[in-house]
Amino acid sequence: MHESNVSKTPVEPILCSLPQGCQMLGIGMGAMYEIIGNGLIHAVKHGTRTLIDVESLKAYAKSLPRAVVTVPRKRKPQRLRQAEAANP
């Protein structure tokens, strides 16, 4: 029997479902509908399903501002803090 190579070819999706898009961005459905409503992500209808254009999803993610995170301050171990509090 001949084995097919077609099913082993990796395929990058063109469209994805709303739950998949939410999972990709790490947001909820309400936020996704808001983003689509504001025209920041392109969505299409296929019958009753709403599908998201994956390229517009990637473009939106790239357009988000870079996060500014401060380095956490170093704290003394809890046992030393407790000892200092007991002996003021």
Which domains, ranges and CATH numbers included, belong to the chain?
11-67 (1.10.10)
Looking at residue 31, its amino acid is: A
C-beta separation of 84 from 51 below 8 A: no
Q: Which two tokens stand for residue 85?
A: 């509090």
Write 29-38 long-range contacts (CB < 8 A, 24+): 35/60
Residue-wise pLDDT for 33-46, tens only, equals: 999 999 999 999 99
Q: CA torsion angle for 64, 70, 71, 75 (degrees, to 10)? A: -140
Question: Looking at the predicted structure, is the pLDDT value of residue 1 above 60?
Answer: no
Rounded mean pLDDT, 42-62? 96
Rounded mean pLDDT, 49-58? 96
Q: How many CB atoms lie within 10 A of CB 43?
A: 19
For the entire predicted model, the pTM comes to: 0.67
Q: How confident is the model at residue 76, as a pLDDT?
A: 79
Rounded mean pLDDT, 21-40? 96
